[in-house]
């Protein structure tokens, strides 16, 4: 496959007004809504008003479930209102949108996404993280990239701030994970194609905004105030890291994630309450500890402390004695398959991250 698809996007507090103009290019009439319960409540009436005032018909609105599982995908695929729609509108955060993207893939339908929280880059990526019924990580799915993303910063500003907070925790992983996955490939003698080089450059470009605007963005979401900080972080998460993910995740190579997400995926089999980005942010500490990048590790620790992101295992419901079990599970992940790591060194990296996170810097 030599064709790369990237989501178009609209952003700003009034971006829903642009839906009819965007839809006109797709020559569709019937739309169906799928999303999280709270996500649909936050946005669907405004979107429905815009659609109906411009001659479009909404066939139905469905809550996706509680998790991105195969059973939830299968239930939605069977809905006649979804089958009859020309296009699917997906509302919500990562798990909702990952589910909806797979439904669209199974039914061969175009999808527009409406991220109502800013917790990860799922709204614009051609990858879905799927879970087992018990909440543990199952596998990655590979749907089509959403055709268009509507990033309504007013909706995001009014959403619970813990999702924005967790989105930053997830976002800081993109630059270092892609950097190290690519470096490992080069060390193996791989000659990087243009697509990978471009993806790595976009991933690197996403790094600074989190550290520059993260703290203010969280304050503004807490106040429900649309701001430049919210816009910059939202675009960084939903566009920059999303574009990077699409480019470095191809049929013949994968440089999208490594040590930090291996840590997250492993912990889902042990502890399920923490938010994705909350755990990933500690995984970034593990990554830098593994590569003995102590200055970067200190930077992440300082940043995490400032934002209230985890710097200890206890903050994500784990303990130092879990390090070996986490590593064993991490070595079963897709991340390990593509960017293998030394078992004992990874165990020590978890412990080093834990120790340094407990120290005053």
Task: Name the phi and psi angles at 43, rounded to 5.
Answer: -135, -25
Cβ atoms of 34 and 91 within 8 Å: the answer is yes
Q: Determine whether 231 is exposed, middle or buried from the number of CB atoms within 10 Å of its CB (0-12, 13-18, 19+).
A: buried
148: region left, alpha or beta (phi > 0 left; psi from -120 to 50 alpha): beta
- Which H or E run includes 358? helix 343-358
Per-residue pLDDT tens listing for the chain (361 residues): 578 899 999 999 999 999 999 999 999 999 999 999 999 999 999 999 999 999 999 999 999 999 999 999 999 999 999 999 999 999 999 999 999 999 999 999 999 999 999 988 999 999 999 999 998 889 999 999 999 999 999 999 999 999 999 999 999 999 999 999 999 999 999 999 999 999 999 999 999 999 999 999 999 999 999 999 999 999 999 999 999 999 999 989 999 999 999 999 999 888 777 889 999 999 999 999 999 999 999 999 999 999 999 999 999 999 999 999 999 999 999 999 999 999 999 999 999 999 999 876 5
* CA pair distance 102, 202, nearest whole angstrom: 26
The pLDDT score that the predictor gives to residue 149 is: 98
Q: How many CA atoms lie within 13 A of 338 on its CB side?
A: 25
* CA pair distance 326, 167, nearest whole angstrom: 23
* CA pair distance 309, 215, nearest whole angstrom: 11
Strand, coil or helix: 29: coil
The pLDDT tens digits for 226-262 are 999 999 999 999 999 999 999 999 989 999 999 999 9
pTM of the model: 0.91
């Amino acid at each position: 496959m030599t064709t790369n698809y990237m989501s178009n996007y609209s952003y700003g507090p009034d971006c829903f007004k642009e839906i009819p103009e965007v839809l006109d290019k797709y020559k569709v009439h019937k739309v169906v809504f799928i999303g999280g319960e709270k996500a649909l409540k936050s946005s669907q009436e405004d979107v429905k008003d815009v659609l109906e005032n411009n001659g479009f018909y909404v066939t139905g609105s469905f809550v996706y479930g509680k998790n991105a599982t195969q059973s939830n995908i299968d239930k939605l695929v069977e809905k006649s209102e979804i089958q009859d729609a020309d296009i699917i509108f997906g509302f919500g955060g990562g798990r909702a949108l990952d589910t909806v993207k797979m439904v669209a893939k199974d039914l061969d339908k175009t999808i527009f996404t409406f991220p109502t929280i800013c917790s990860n880059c799922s709204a614009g990526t051609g990858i879905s993280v799927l879970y087992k019924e018990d909440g543990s990580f199952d596998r990655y799915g590979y749907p089509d990239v959403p055709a268009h993303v509507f990033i309504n910063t007013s909706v995001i500003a009014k959403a619970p701030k813990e999702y924005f907070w967790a989105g930053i925790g997830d976002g800081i992983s993109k630059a270092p994970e892609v950097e190290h996955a690519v470096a490992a490939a080069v060390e193996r003698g791989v000659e990087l194609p243009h697509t990978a080089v471009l993806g790595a450059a976009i991933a690197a470009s996403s790094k600074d905004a989190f550290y520059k605007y993260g703290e203010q963005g969280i304050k503004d979401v807490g106040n429900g105030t649309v701001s430049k900080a919210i816009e910059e972080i939202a675009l960084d998460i939903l566009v920059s890291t999303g574009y990077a993910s699409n480019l470095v995740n191809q049929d013949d190579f994968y440089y999208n994630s490594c040590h930090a997400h291996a840590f997250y995926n492993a912990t889902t089999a042990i502890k399920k309450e923490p938010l994705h980005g909350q755990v990933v942010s500690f995984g970034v500490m593990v990554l830098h500890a593994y590569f003995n990048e102590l200055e970067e590790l200190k930077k992440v620790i300082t940043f995490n402390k400032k934002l209230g992101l985890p710097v200890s295992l206890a903050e994500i419901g784990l303990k130092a004695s879990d390090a070996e079990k986490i590593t064993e599970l991490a070595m079963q992940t897709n991340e390990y398959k593509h960017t293998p790591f030394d078992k004992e060194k990874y165990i020590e990296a978890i412990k080093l991250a834990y120790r340094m996170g407990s120290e005053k810097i």
